[in-house]
Amino acid sequence: MVETTRRREIEDAASSLFREHGYSGTSVRDIARALDIQGASLYAHVTSKQDVLWSIVDKAADRFEAAADAALLGVGGSRSGPGSRMDALVRAHVRVVVDDLERASVFVHDWRSLSVGRRVEMLARRDAYEARFRAIIADGVATGAFAPVDPVVAASYVLTALNGIVAWYRPDGRVSPATLVEIYTDLSRRAVRARATEH
Amino acid sequence: MVETTRRREIEDAASSLFREHGYSGTSVRDIARALDIQGASLYAHVTSKQDVLWSIVDKAADRFEAAADAALLGVGGSRSGPGSRMDALVRAHVRVVVDDLERASVFVHDWRSLSVGRRVEMLARRDAYEARFRAIIADGVATGAFAPVDPVVAASYVLTALNGIVAWYRPDGRVSPATLVEIYTDLSRRAVRARATEH
């Protein structure tokens, strides 16, 4: 889909409102009001609130997947050790989150408000994405680079912690986005205990 | 407040509905229907949906605080090292979460739907609770038992991961509650890297 400026403004406004009031607590009229346009004008750009939600979540999923692909490629793919791949994935994920906290918040929380068919589709994409973390952790456990940990549980632990950034982080606060990325990468690496020498 | 059986049933049903549909997506009529009683009969026990939410969140906060107190007392309080205290706090927190996932979910997510005065009060309690984690992590960093990490960020990371259990964990699945408690305690300990010898 070609993303026009207006379309992007609509999704930015909707992300902000969904984050603040939730999907069900936000109306198309609220989105129009935030942009200072008429509800009827909004419908020239979007077909429904559900359509806006899908677009935000779908593009966010694209960004997480593309960032993960690029990050793994950047460290040499499967030729690199599980510690390096884990670091690369975590760093990429946190960067996407802090780069647009509002859209990330919709991706993390409001995807549950998608219609059933789209929710099932998104659940499968989320699971495939999380499977990258599970595979690397399983690899690290198998090679002894990581502590013997359940990869499914450990991947949930780490990804939940990373996604939790949307709930508390303020980019204009004491901790810069770049520092946050490094702290979260360190905490996640240590949680699964990649050996320092493995890097 | 004396908790009658009926009152507890109402809060159990409400917790389940709030978790599934959110606070704003649940009506008093939905709660009554889940209990197979008339809405009017429900009002003999509760004054409003907000009142039910407050009661669930307030009691959940009580349980987290009491569990943390008991856990710290159990390891000898401030006489024990930061690693032991961190383990004790994490273990206690996860136990409260898995002991009643539905009420924990309301505590984690729906407290934001409290009226302003109560939300401010709960925010202060949540902050004081999180401060216990921050203090122990700061202590561990100061003594060198933990990695040099920002205690505020690390406490957010760990608590978010622990609270995330409500979103994915199924107690009737592959991982028993007792095993989950131990895995989460291990991951959290390693995230802040308490020295193994410090225990």
Global ipTM = 0.90
pLDDT along chain B (199 residues), means of 10: 81 95 89 90 89 97 98 90 96 98 96 94 97 97 94 98 96 96 96 63
**What's the rounded mean pLDDT across residues A81-100?**
97
Q: How far apart are CA A104 and CA A62, in angstroms?
A: 12
Residue numbers in A near B154 (CB within 8 A): 183, 187
Under CATH, which number does the domain B53-198 receive?
Answer: 1.10.357.10
Is A153 an interface residue toward B (CB < 8 Å)? yes
Instruction: Give the residue among B185, B88, B74 at the shortest CA–CA distance from B132.
Output: B88
CA distances from B174 to A130, A171, B139, B168, B169 (A): 18, 39, 36, 12, 10
Cβ contacts of B53 within 8 Å, gap of 6 or more = B14, B18, B23, B106, B110, B111, B113, B114
Both tokens of B176, joined, read 């028993």
Report yes or no: A86 and A143 within 8 Å, Cβ to Cβ.
Answer: no
**Alpha carbon distance B141, B157 (integer Å):** 16
Q: Which residue of A has its CA nearest to B164?
A: A160
Q: Does A197 score more than 70 pLDDT?
A: no
Q: To the nearest whole angstrom, how far is the Cα of A187 from the nearest Cα of chain B?
A: 5
How far is the C-alpha of A31 from the C-alpha of A42, rounded, in Å? 8
The verdict on a CB contact (< 8 Å) between A150 and B175 is yes
DSSP secondary structure string for all residues of B16-64: HHHHHH-STT--HHHHHHHTTS-HHHHTTT-S-HHHHHHHHHHHHHHHH
Question: Is B27 in CB contact (< 8 Å) with chain A?
Answer: no
- Contacts with B142 (C-beta within 8 Å, 6 or more apart), sequence order: none
Asked if residue A58 lies in contact with residue A117, where contact means CB atoms within 8 angstroms, the answer is: no
Other beta carbons within 10 angstroms of residue B168's beta carbon come to: 14
Asked if the model's pLDDT at residue A198 lies above 60, the reply is no
Tell me which chain A residues have a C-beta less than 8 angstroms from the C-beta of B184. Answer: 153, 157
Confidence of residue A40 (pLDDT cuts 50, 70, 90): confident
Residue B189: name the closest of B64, B80, B84 by CA. Answer: B84
Least CB–CB distance from B157: residue in A153, A184, A192: A184
CB B184 within 8 A of CB B169: no
CATH number of this structure's domain A50-198? 1.10.357.10
CB pairs under 8 A between A and B: 85
Given pLDDT bands bounded at 50, 70 and 90, which one contains residue A42?
confident
pLDDT exceeds 70 at position A3: no
* Separation between Cα atoms, residue A95 and residue A89, nearest integer Å: 10
Give B-chain residues touching A180 at CB under 8 angstroms. Answer: 153
Domain spans, chain B: 53-198
Helices (H) and strands (E) in chain B, counts: 10, 0
Scan residues 45-74 of B and list those with Cβ closer than 8 Å to A. Answer: none
Residue pair B136/B92 in contact by the 8 Å Cβ criterion: no
Are B187 and A157 within 8 A, CB to CB? yes
Give the pLDDT band (50/70/90) at residue A29. very high
pLDDT in tens, A120-169: 999 999 999 999 999 999 999 999 999 999 999 999 999 999 999 999 99
A114 φ/ψ sector (left φ>0, alpha ψ -120 to 50, else beta) = beta
Q: Chain B residue with minimal CA distance to A164?
A: B160
**Is residue A199 pLDDT above 80, yes or no?**
no
Of A157, A168, A192, Cβ closest to residue B184: A157
The SS3 call for residue A146 is: coil
Pick from A146, A153, A168, A185 the residue to mutate for testing the B interface (most B CBs within 10 Å).
A153
CB neighbour list of residue B113: distance below 8 Å, 6 or more residues apart: B22, B23, B24, B53
Q: How many CA atoms lie within 13 A of B175 on its CB side?
A: 18
- Reported as a single tens digit per residue, the pLDDT across A56-88 is 999 999 999 999 999 999 999 888 999 999 999
Interchain CB contact of A104 with B (< 8 Å): no
pLDDT score, position A194 = 63
- Which chain A residues are Cβ-neighbours of B188 within 8 angstroms? 191
A172: DSSP letter: T
pLDDT at A21 over 90: no
